[in-house]
Amino acid sequence: MKKLLEPMGQDNTNRVLLEKQGAIAIVTLNRPDKHNGLDEAMFVQLLDTAKRLKKDRSVRCVILQGAGPSFCAGLDFASVSKKPSMIVRFFLKLPWSKDNRFQRLAHCWRDLPMPVIAVVHGNCFGGGMQIALGCDYRIAAPDAKLSIMEIKWGIIPDMSGTVTLSRLTRVDIAQELTMTGRIFSGSDGAEYGLVSKLSDQPLQAAMELATTISQKSPDAIAAAKALFKKT
């Protein structure tokens, strides 16, 4: 694999790794000691990574995964609470923008011309779940733990979660998961339509799917994704 990104954080740390294997880009959330909890540096680097991928016509499929024991445990409240100005800045919607930066973190994967496959294992909570729902496919371990957990803090999944949930599952299921915040398994997620495929080795399954997609016409793939996005 070829590493494409150098450390981007002010403290010279890489919260996000971007590697390339042929026409497949592999994006890795790289904060394993915190179950890839979302802090400001990871927000910024994920958005920057999506921008880079959007301009790279050699990439035909993207795999999004988490390093360590989990995909993403959601917003790191302990970290962001130390920077209240970040919350204001990220919620701010500029007049010429269709979304704020929190929403963009989930939207940016749908906006890429190539398909994005989320590899879900361990915990996938809150903002992490909304990022996964913003991808085109979700391949999950049967014992993965998923949750629309925002209600725990008295908020709603407004990083586009309400839109993607209602596209993928019945409205009553979407409402129940949102209003209870209960944790459910990858197997349950497949039953609800929120998980595309179950696999004991989700990364391997994702690589197989990405390889098949990358062998097809990139223009046709991009056109198909754009059409489905409009429906």
If one counts the domains in the chain, the total is 1
Instruction: Find the mean pLDDT for residues 68-80.
Output: 89
Assign 103 a pLDDT band (cuts: 50, 70, 90): confident
Percent of the chain, pLDDT > 70?
A: 87
Q: Per-residue pLDDT tens for 13-60?
A: 799 999 999 999 999 999 999 999 999 899 999 999 999 999 999 999
Assign 155 a pLDDT band (cuts: 50, 70, 90): confident
Assign 136 a pLDDT band (cuts: 50, 70, 90): very high
Domain hosting residue 39, numbered range: 2-230
Say if CB 47 and CB 105 are below 8 A apart: yes
Q: Per-residue pLDDT tens for 112-134?
A: 999 999 999 999 999 999 999 99
Q: Per-residue pLDDT tens for 158-171?
A: 777 788 898 999 99
- Burial 161-190, CB ≥16 within 10 A → b, else e: bbbbbeebbeeebbeebbeebeebbbebbb
CATH number, domain of 139, equals 3.90.226.10
What does the mean pLDDT of the chain come to?
Answer: 89
